[in-house]
Every structure is written in C-alpha cells, then in structure tokens.
Amino acid sequence: MVSRSVLFAVLSLLCNGIDAFHNLFPIDIGLSEEDPFLTTEREEFDDCHLRYMRYGKDELDIPEPLRAYEEPRDYSHIATIGRRRNGGTIDWTCMGALIWDSVVITSAQCTTDEGNGIPSVVRLGGTKYVQVINIKEVIRHPDFLPSNGQNDIALLQLDRKIIINETAVPTCLWLFDGVPFQKLDSIGRTAASRRQQTPEFVTEEMTTVNVKSEDCFAPMTRNQGLPESQLCMETLKQNADNCQDIPEGNPLQARLLHNFQTSPFLIGLVTSSFSSGSCNRRRGYTKIGSHRDWLMQVLLERNVSVTPEDFFPVVCANRFRGLRPRADELVLERNGDIPVNSIQVEFVRDRDLQYIVQFRWPSDAKNVPQINCAGTFVDQQTVLTLAECVIATTPEGVQPTDVVQVSRFRNTSYPIKSITVHPHYVKSSQKNNIAVVKLQSRQDVVPACVWTHRILPDSRVDLTGAGMSTLNNFQESIFVEDDLTNAFIQPAMDHYRWSNCSTELGQLVGGNRSLDGLTKNEHLCFRSDQWIVPGVCEDVPGAPVLRYINRAGAFFKYVYALTVAGQTCGHGIPTIAVQLAPHAAWLRSVILDKSNSGGQKASESVIIINPDLKRSDECSNGDGTMGICVPYAMCLSTKERLRKGERVTLCTDGTVVCCPWEIRGDLIRTELDSCENRYHSLRRQRYSGFSQNEFLYSNLPHVAEVGWPQNNGGIAFECFGYLITSSIIVTSARCLETYSYKPVVARIGSVQAADSSNYIIQTIRRVRVHDDYDSQTGANNIGLLILAAPIEINEYHFPGCLYRNNTHLPTRQFAISDDRDATFFLKVSPIYQSECQQRLTVPLVSGQMCLLKAQPEGVYNPRNKCLRTGDLIVWEPRTEEEDVMDVVYLVGLFSHGGCNVENVQIGTRISSYYDWIIANGK
C-alpha cells in the first residue's frame, strides 16, 4: 500500500526546485482535505482546481528565519547635536538627521548661541558602534525668523565623512511641495537629560491637521498662524499631559516601503515657535520641500559631492537599501521566501506571472482607450479584462488583435478569436466594466481560477501592479543594482471597508478617467496605511487581485477582482477593483460553451445474434467474457452492458442472452466489493507498525512484480501488476507481451521491502489477456494473472481495491514506476476527453483515460520521467480515521505515452473493465 507518509515524502521531492514564492502565503479555508473528482467532460464553471490539478503547488520550502539585527536600524539616520562645555563634557541639546555622508540637517534654532556657544559636535550610531564627529561649519538659513519659526532650518557640515554602516545611514528627503501623508512620525528622545551618553529615541505618531493655519498655534506665536512653508501636526496621544521632550531639530518623517524594507523620508523639522517640553498637542514643522533650492545651493557651494538627482526618491531609496530595516511582517507572511535580486524579480514575472497579459492593437488604430491595460488567463484559452480595455475605438469596430506575454527577453503574442463585452457596460462608466477575450487556440499557461463567492476568504490579497524591478527585490547588502525597468509585481494589500473608501474616491485617479458607477455591490476597495516610495508600484487597469488558496492539498491562485482605478497599488491611496463574483452567471454563460466541447458520444451497443446457440450452451460475447445462454431476465449484467455500450450476444432469439459466468463471478465480485472493509484490520496493523518502524513497513503490499524464467535459471521481473484478490493480479496486456512465452511467477509485496520476509513469490496458474486487445492502438490493454494458490495474507502483502466509478476520476493520482531498480511515484492528473482528443493525433478508444504529468507552478524543470507499460496508476483518498492507513485504489494501468512532461499519458481505465475482471478471474 502506498501510505500517505510515503506519498508526502514523494511530494517533497517533486517540489525540489521551487524558487522564490513571491505571493502571500497560501490560506487554508477548510478545503485542503477535499478529494476532488473530474467528470468526462466539463459541466461546471467552478472546476479550475479540478482541470488544472497538475499545476497545483504541493508544498513550500520553509527557510530559516532571517537573522535578527545586532542593533535596531530605525534610527540610524538620527543625529544628536551637542555643545562642548568646560571640562570636556558635552551637552546634547538638540537633534537632526544625516542627509549625506558629511552633512546633517537641523533647525536654525538649534544653531543659535545659548550662551554656551554654537553646536560643535554630532553623534551618530547605536549603542555598540558610536561615531562622534566635529562640526566644521554651521550654515543657518539667512532668513530665519525666531519669532514665528520662518525658515527654521540649518545645515551642519562635518569635518570628515562618517563611516556608513547599518547604524549610520543618511536619510532620504521629501523635496516635493505637497505632503500627501495623513500620518507622520515625530522622532524624539526618551530621556529628558541633555547629557545622556547613550542615544535613545522614541517614535511619536502625528496626524496632519486639516484646519486653517491660524488654528495651529504655539505658546510663542498664539494667533499669528503658520507660514505656508510649515506643516501643522497634532499628536495622536490621548494623554497630552504626559509630555515627551521635544528637542530643537526634532525630525518629522515618513517611512516609505520598498524592497520589503523601509527608508526614512525627512518631511520637516519642529519650528522654534514650540518651546522644549511644550505640552501643546499641535506643533508646527518647517517643510523640507519648501527649502530644496536653498539646500542644493548650500551643498554645491561647499563642493559636497551631491547632485539634485541623488535626492530623487527612487535613487535615494535604492542607494542604501541593503542597510535599511526590514518590514518583517511582509517577509513573514510570504514565509520568508521572497525574490532576492532584480534578475529574480524578472524571472518570477517571466515564469510565474505569465497568466497576466497585455493587449496588442492594430498599428493604425487611433484613440486606443487603455494602452497599458492587463488581462488575466482564467483558463488556457480565455482572458478576463476590463471592458474599457478592449472596447471598439472607432465606428469600424477596431479592437485588439492579440494578447501579449511580456518577458525580459521576448514577447509572445496569441491571436484573439473573439471579444465579448458585458452587454450592460456603458462607456466611461465603471458599471459592468468587464469583458471576456477568447483566443484562437489553447496556450500552455497556468491560469488563475475565478473566485465566484462574494465574500473574500481573507482580508489580505495580492494586488497586481507595475513597478521598478530594483525597488521590488530583497537584498540585505550594500550592493546596488541600477535596474530601472518595470515589471509586474504583486504587493500584499488589505481589503478596505467601502464606507471608509467612498470618502477617499476623489484621490484615486488623475487625468479624465471616470469614477462613475462605482458601488459597493459590484466593487471592492483595497488600502494600506503604509505608503511606498514613488515608483515601487503603480496600478494597472485590468490587473488581477488574487490570493493562493489551499484546495485538495495543493495551492491554486484565485482571482477575486480586476483593478479599475488607483495610483499606488493601495498604499496610502485606495485602489478600486471590479469584483468577479457578481458577474459569475454572465461569465459562466460566455465561457462555458458546451457546444464546442468535442466530447465523444456514448457508443451504441453491438448486439450479435448467434442462431447456433441455444439455452444452456456455453457462449462468448466476443469481448473475452465466457458465459452461458440464459433467459434475459436471469442475467443481471445484461442491462448494464447495454448501457455501457458493450457487446451482447443473443442466443437464437432476443429472449435468451449470453450471460457471463455468474457463480464464480459472484464470489469475485463479493470479494472486490468488500475490499475496503475486508482488509481494514490489516491497514490498522500497518499504521501501528509504520508508526514504530517506518523502514520495516516501507514495502507496497498490493504491488506485484511479474516474472519470466531466463536461460541462466534466474527470473526476470519486468513489469508491475496489482493484487486484487488473494489469487488474482491485474496487469496490462502489453506487459504480458514482454517475452514470447508466458510469465511463471509473481513476486508480491517486494517493492521497497526491507527484507525477504516482507514479500512472497507465488506460481502463476493461468494468464488471461483481453480477446480484443490491440497492440497498435492500446485498446483493451489489460490482462489477468491467476495464481496457482491463494497467497497467505498478512500486513506485508494483501489485496488492494479497484476504483469502480465510471463517470468521475480522482484528480490526484500517482503512477508507480521504477527506474534502474529505484521505485518512484509520479503525480498525474486526468483531463477532459475533449482536451485529450485535441492533443492526440489518433482517436481515443473506449476504456482509455487521459492523464498529464504534474507540472507544479513555479518548478523550473519538472521531471521528464518515462513510464513503463503496466505501471500502476493509484489513488489514495483521505480517510477520517487517524489510526489506520488509507485505502489505495487501482484506477488504471499505464498503456502508452511519451516521456516529456507535456505528453499525454494514456491509461487503461479499470472501472471500464470491472465486469470483465469478474467474469475472467476464475
């Protein structure tokens, strides 16, 4: 028996080679224990996990947790500014931020003479590695006004460059006029003493006050208000009486996300109008962006090796990204396994994101509505996108001609067959903004499944956008890659309540895109408080919002919605997406087209009249089954044979039929039908033994090896069989053709056996091959071995069960084979017969089933293992009992098929031959 433990061990081997799993860690919504089954032809819309089981990710490598930092990196840019006193002591009076390797920014108030001289020294670094550097020059803004804090900004040029490391790294500067962030961080000191020798800082969350500037006052300015170059901020602390020390030069910043890390962006410095220790919950801050020209002028005049481009957000974020603190929550929810460099980010896109496409329009098309739209494969011939992305742009009806997979090295185009826009879509509206694009042919791509339920299974999603590769990798080193190309990326994002989202819709899109028609019944909103560095991610119309879900023990991506509006992929500003669930019925009607299913019609029964036969004569139905002529009413199997399209022989007239032998057949049928319960105690014994000694119970108790005598006196075991009763073995007819003479023995329970006491060798009494076996087509490729005597049944060798369902096939099957005397298990999955027929050059014959080898998504080189004729195809359902091995069913026998992973594997379907096995097992 192939135990679950054995199969799981095999799965881990199948998954070797999985690279970075860049999506959110898959969620388990209670469907992981499903045992799904595939019908002969497609009947359901929600069958994605059934028809594409071969692509399911089985498991993920869980790496070791990332190493903790020796010192925190959150304050590596914060400088403490001091004045030397008599006796050599230093009074650390105020704060600032390192903006270059030899320049610190602070407030002008910090640089005024307090009676003890101007600042003379700067301290940077953490408790373990501190750098104390003298100040070479103090450059105060010439128009500084202490009375109202106007131009309260200054630069300190150091007398040497600092040593940049993880505890001392320059900050980035927000040099734009506008400040979009509603919440900012004020960095203060944890101790009030100005003589503390160990730097200790604390972060205080502030929010922008959206009131008139005159309402933001300080004790020194009262109703004078704040200049335009200042920000009014309010602390979020509920207890304002518990005041923190607010030193001069107190920085105001935002930590912006990139590379799964955050970089500080300095927004402002507290103004001199707020005295140290003030308990006013509102404060004014000098905006850095208002003084960018003065900053650059001072730096250039002092020959500091900096250019304006060095302060661009993209450039600054990329410069020291290896030294910035990780956003550990983002790393952890991806199970710690994320892309580590720009090449890998592109590689992920080229391989794992090929289900996301763009559109190609005719070269002479004008007024293309959305040139940067995306679409999502939801099956291998269907793409979903927005109606606005593909709607005709001219009265002549010009539409896209191809979908395009964009990769690092080449773009691949697939011609479009048809475009169906939702019939109730109104141009320039977001209502019913959805379309189905069908391609001319099936493509070998791993599609996303459609989530047809209105409720999302989890509040976290992968929201697809486009961003610079260099800002979306993860690498903790000083090495910088200047790869500014764009790629599809999938940041993690939160579902946002529509009631909150609706108040922010005005910020969603620029240009003239319409937000008309947005409703909570059709659309979803996504947003995070965490802002990103500009360029990290921009929304792409039509791009999928999705999540990997664990179904039947494998991970499948389910798309919930398609992006319609947004700017920053939900970071800070909401992203709106049209949900697919409200349109499930329409999608089903368009996508599920049974008229072109291509399925085979049920074959009609062949009725043969033999006038020479009379009642009680021995007879044959011409398909290898022997029987006796009896009245029709006495033969219980005739009706079933007619239903299944099998041969029926009439003896003399229509009232007497050739009925397969029922006496012996009834005994065999009883044994086969009771297989699950008959050997339950043995499976329980194996579980108990396996729990104590896996090695001793590693053999496969149902598997037999078929042996032929050799000239040297030995036995050659060339192929597999499957023990179904104590004296009957099922194998393939082609296996029995290995030699020109018949096999003589079967070795049972020997595969993977620990020692010879675990298996038995039994003599074969009779070999039975199906009468209509065709070696050219593989039709009826089945045979039986009848043993000379029943075997001794114990926990090491006992019969397995036969899968008897004729209408459905389990989607998780395994082929048992060997290569160079090493047994291996190859995951295989059935496909619809119509799809199978499209892949074959010859017709599929009755009694055959089509399988494809596993190609887990993300595996770069799936194994091209060759199967051998007679290899066993088994299914192991999940039992609810925890102390018993699962039943193993023989579903089929491998007949023929190529070795490559994309080749169709043809198997003999055991359920089609159940009656034949019973009739010929005597």
Torsion angle defined by CA atoms of residues 116, 119, 121 and 124, in that order, rounded to the nearest 10 degrees: 130
Place of tokens 């004008």: 366
Residues 6+ positions from 677 with CB-CB distance below 8 Å: none
**pLDDT interval class at 297 (50, 70, 90):** very high
Look at 349 and 584; give whichever has higher pLDDT: 584
CA-to-CA separations, 619 to 647, 651, 658, 745, 771, in angstroms, rounded:
13, 9, 6, 30, 14
Name the strand (E) or helix (H) holding 402: strand 402-406
CA-to-CA separations, 61 to 25, 254, 350, 446, 513, in angstroms, rounded:
12, 35, 21, 21, 43
CATH code linked to domain 338-476+484-591: 2.40.10.10
Per-residue model confidence (pLDDT) at position 417: 96
Range in 6-20, 99-113, 347-361, 774-788 with the lowest mean pLDDT: 6-20
Query: Taking 90 as the threshold, does the pLDDT of residue 729 lie above it?
Result: yes
Look at 637 and 495; give whichever has higher pLDDT: 495
Query: Taking 60 as the threshold, does the pLDDT of residue 17 lie above it?
Result: no
Closest residue by Cα to residue 491 from 339, 358, 314, 266:
339
Per-residue model confidence (pLDDT) at position 821: 77
| 434-454 confidence digits (pLDDT tens) | 999 999 999 999 999 999 999
Alpha helix ranges (H) inside 362-456: 387-390
| 813-871 confidence digits (pLDDT tens) | 999 999 877 899 999 999 999 999 999 988 899 999 999 999 888 776 666 789 999 99
The pair of structure tokens assigned to 10 is 């095999």
Per-residue model confidence (pLDDT) at position 763: 96
Pairing of strands 554-565, 449-450: parallel
**pLDDT interval class at 12 (50, 70, 90):** very low
Per-residue model confidence (pLDDT) at position 597: 37
**pLDDT interval class at 13 (50, 70, 90):** very low
Residues of the chain by 3-state class (helix, strand, coil), percent to 5: 20, 30, 50
- Which residues of the chain does CATH 2.40.10.10 include? 78-323, 338-476+484-591, 671-921
Place of tokens 């003084």: 291
Place of tokens 């509206």: 429
Per-residue model confidence (pLDDT) at position 456: 95
Percent of the chain with pLDDT over 90: 53
Q: Euclidean distance between the first and final Cα of the chain, in Å?
A: 25
| Multiple choice CATH, 671-921, 2.40.10.10, 3.40.50.180, 3.30.390.30, 2.170.150.20 | 2.40.10.10
Q: Do 87 and 40 contact (CB within 8 A), yes or no?
A: no
Per-residue model confidence (pLDDT) at position 225: 58
- One-letter amino acid at 117 equals G
**pLDDT interval class at 419 (50, 70, 90):** very high
Per-residue model confidence (pLDDT) at position 2: 37
Q: Do 876 and 863 contact (CB within 8 A), yes or no?
A: no
Q: What is the DSSP-derived secondary structure letter of residue 862?
A: -
**pLDDT interval class at 100 (50, 70, 90):** very high
Taking the C-alpha atoms of residue 626 and residue 631, their distance in angstroms, rounded to an integer, is: 16
Look at 602 and 42; give whichever has higher pLDDT: 42
Query: Taking 50 as the threshold, does the pLDDT of residue 25 lie above it?
Result: yes
Per-residue model confidence (pLDDT) at position 15: 30
Instruction: Name the E strands within 167-229.
Output: 172-173, 183-189, 201-208
Range in 280-294, 762-776, 903-917 with the lowest mean pLDDT: 280-294
Taking the C-alpha atoms of residue 387 and residue 369, their distance in angstroms, rounded to an integer, is: 10
Query: Taking 60 as the threshold, does the pLDDT of residue 698 lie above it?
Result: yes
CATH code linked to domain 78-323: 2.40.10.10
Q: What is the mean pLDDT of the chain?
A: 85
| 650-683 confidence digits (pLDDT tens) | 887 767 888 876 444 478 888 898 999 999 999 9
Pairing of strands 648-651, 607-610: parallel
Query: Taking 60 as the threshold, does the pLDDT of residue 27 lie above it?
Result: yes
**pLDDT interval class at 482 (50, 70, 90):** low
